[in-house]
Amino acid sequence: MKEANESSNVVNLGQRLDPSSGRGGDLLNAVRNISSRRLQQLIGNMFEHVDDALFDLAEKAENNAAQMHYFDGMREVRKRRPVIERAFLALVSRELNDFAGGTRSAGGGPSAPAPVPGSVELSLVADNELEESLAITSMIGKNETRLTRDLFAVNQRLSVICGGTRIEDATNPIGPAMLSQAFRQSMRELSADMRVKLIIYKLFDRYVMAALEELYQEVNAELMRAGVLPQLRHEVSRSGAAATGGAVAAGEVPQPLPADDSEASAELLQTLRALFSARRAHPNVPLSAMTVGPLPTANELIGALSVLQSQAAMLPMPQPAATTNTPDIAEQVLQLKEQLMSQLGSLRGQRPGQIATIDEDTIDLVGMLFEFILEDRNLPAQMQVLLARLQIPYLKAAILDRKLFAHRQHPARRLLDGLAEAAKSWSEESDRDGRLHDTVKAIVERLMQEFDDDMTIFDRLSAELQQFQESNRRRSELAEQRVAESTRGREKLEQARRRAAREILNRIGDNVLPPLIHGVLSRAWANYLVLTILRKGEESNEFREALRFIDAFIASSKPVRTPEAKRDLRQLLPGIERALRKGLANVAFQEADIEKLLAQLHGYYRQQLGEAAPAPAQPQAAATAPAPLPIPESIQPIAESAADLEEDSTNDPAEDTIAPDVREQLEQVKALKPGTWLEFIGQDEHFERAKLSWVSPMSGRYLFVNRRGLKVGDFSPYELALVMAEGRARILASNALFDRAMDAIVDRLSHEEARPGESP
């Protein structure tokens, strides 16, 4: 009788409480009270240390500007501290209330607002958001790993008192993820420099996150006293993740939990299981009959794969040409299964008759994943052969953790996606020093040599890859910015050149100017006009004065036949001389050259005014040819005629005259966004991969750079569409490798299911 009474106080996993019930509500209230009390103490303690930390940094600042940032931050924190504390505690309280009431959204948790599109500070905001996100993500990951045991127990007990709803690290209202995001959102109340905010995040990590262990222990102790999973055990694998079935109360049967945290991924897994089931009903690659024996356990499979992995790690690196002669994937999978069975037989002394259905499906699924990698044109051949070596390590990972194919944020999945994203930008030209190739190769080799059953290696290698990518990103962004600025400068110069040429040509019109006047306008003054547009703008007084000079200069060349005309010309000449001296000095004329040119003009005007003997008559054909002038060779005429100006332009043809295949590509070109990668193929079949860096708002031209930020080319929309229609350029996929592979595998299996009677 006594034993029955004791067991009645234990809340089984199968006895899921209704959070709206009296007991469930009381337990959640207890969790809320404990959390609110402890977090209020922790956040207050943290802010007590902010002043000292910022003061120390101000004293050590490298310059006055940095010092002022810290002092300004101290003043702002003192002023806004109460608001931030209240906002943080209110957000946590709201999450706990929503959690207890079952009203929290599926996404869960407070999120930081995105930067406002169109802001002139958008680039700076984006950089700050990135820095902030990296700090938060790092803090969450570190503390979730550190607190695995206590946090897991809180998750399980909250799941029980919330009616069996699955609670994970990311959805626990008092977990590191939710608390960090709540603090991030409350920090929106602080208008301080990002350097100051990052210091405060470090202090939040040190004084709040570091003390969560005591909070979780108190919550767990309270729920254990209430009879919620009092004998819960947490078995941790070497990866630090909970082992399957590890969280059970003694003597209880664990309840099955969903395989994924999103409906889409769960649906994908269900689809894959159904397709593999149909495939087994009509096998194309059946296992041959073997000696009957017990099914190998997961540990046996991992042991056998580890042997095969060590053997594969010693093989020489295959050459890219091997990708064109790879055997059929079904044959590869059969070979791997046969090797696996042989190795299992060697390890256990008896060859198993078969392997479990779920393990066979996993082998086939990983095989299809790596077949996709070998066929994925988004990856250069040199990178395909590197990544293809990871088939056995990823098969081990998939057997160790069945969630690999379900969770987009699974460490192994993120590593493979990261490697593929880095590989997508690779080309020999952009990686002359081999740093990217060697980094990917080193990660592959480390995984081959070091991965046993410790899944944390994927996180470590992902962090190393991210660090490498980040250091390269900073360098490439600087180079990319210089290329964009240079291109923008050239376009502004070209636009100014055309404007200046049009102004001069329109004002000359049908007039036949003397060579001296024509030469000054089309060369020296045209360049001064360009310089004025670039420096002062087209709305400036300087530009309007430069245009008035053109009119006056042209007027000064007209025949002078009356006393009034002579008077008008004499009145124009001082202004013409002053304007010429100023303008010519701005376009690199030396003083001696200016005096020489003015002397020629003085002689010309004396002839106009009848004060000197006229020059000998010249043939009409020479009347429009510029005479030699003391104009620097670098100053060339902008344009001799409107026709020359039009020939220089790069106008695309009218759309109704474009060939249908080019028009189709043109629609794709117009939809391209900066950041999209393309592969360009040269005349010698040499390829280069380039990212769309910038679309000119002036000319509409598309600027492409390689992974180092160096210019690869620029095209008008029509030119790019034409190159694509000719097969000399193609757009590379922007979505993650794993997502593309899963879609391709489902599509392939669906077609196999539709043709079950066909032979392989």
The full DSSP string for 147-194 is THHHHHHHHHHHHHHTTT----GGG-TTSHHHHHHHHHHHGGG----H
pLDDT given for residue 481 in this prediction: 85
pLDDT given for residue 587 in this prediction: 81
299 phi, psi to nearest 5 deg: -65, -40
pLDDT given for residue 268 in this prediction: 66
Closest CA to 469 of 500, 507, 425: 425
Which long-range contacts (C-beta less than 8 Å, at least 24 apart) are formed by 16-24?
A: 16/160, 16/162, 16/163, 16/164, 17/160, 17/161, 17/162, 17/163, 18/163, 19/100, 19/101, 19/102, 19/161, 19/162, 19/163, 20/101, 20/102, 24/161, 24/162, 24/163
Q: Any alpha helices (H) in 642-690, and if so which ranges? A: 642-648, 660-671
Pseudo-torsion of CA 565, 570, 571, 574, nearest 10°?
Answer: 150
pLDDT given for residue 422 in this prediction: 93
Is 565 within 8 Å of 608 (Cβ atoms)? Answer: no
Rounded CA-CA distance 400/405 in Å is 12
Joined tokens for residue 23: 């007991």
pLDDT given for residue 107 in this prediction: 42
pLDDT given for residue 635 in this prediction: 52
pLDDT given for residue 753 in this prediction: 56
Closest CA to 266 of 372, 143, 407, 139: 407
Rounded CA-CA distance 244/297 in Å is 14
pLDDT given for residue 254 in this prediction: 33
pLDDT given for residue 15 in this prediction: 45
- CB 246: neighbour CB atoms within 10 A? 15
Is 84 within 8 Å of 187 (Cβ atoms)? Answer: yes
Rounded CA-CA distance 410/260 in Å is 11
CATH 2.30.30.30 positions along the chain are: 652-735
pLDDT given for residue 102 in this prediction: 65
537: left (phi over 0), alpha (psi -120 to 50) or beta: left
Tell me which residues of the chain have a pLDDT lower than 50: 1-16, 105-108, 111-125, 234-262, 284-292, 321-327, 619-627, 634, 642-643, 647-649, 757-760
Which long-range contacts (C-beta less than 8 Å, at least 24 apart) are formed by 276-285?
A: 276/361, 276/364, 276/365, 276/749, 278/749, 278/752, 278/753, 278/756, 279/364, 279/749, 279/752, 279/753, 280/357, 281/756, 282/756, 282/757, 284/330, 284/752, 284/759, 284/760, 285/330, 285/333, 285/334, 285/760
Residue labelled with tokens 């222990």: 217
Element (H, E) at 680: strand 677-681
- CB 96: neighbour CB atoms within 10 A? 21
Instruction: Say which CATH topology domain 652-735 has.
Output: SH3 type barrels. (2.30.30)
Rounded CA-CA distance 410/451 in Å is 16
pLDDT given for residue 12 in this prediction: 45
- CB 583: neighbour CB atoms within 10 A? 23
Of how many residues is the chain composed? 760
Chain segment 157-175, per-residue pLDDT in tens: 888 888 777 888 888 999 9
Contacts of 291 (CB under 8 A, 6+ apart): 350, 351, 352, 353
pLDDT given for residue 5 in this prediction: 43
pLDDT given for residue 77 in this prediction: 93
Closest CA to 635 of 648, 626, 644, 625: 626
pLDDT given for residue 312 in this prediction: 84
pLDDT given for residue 495 in this prediction: 86
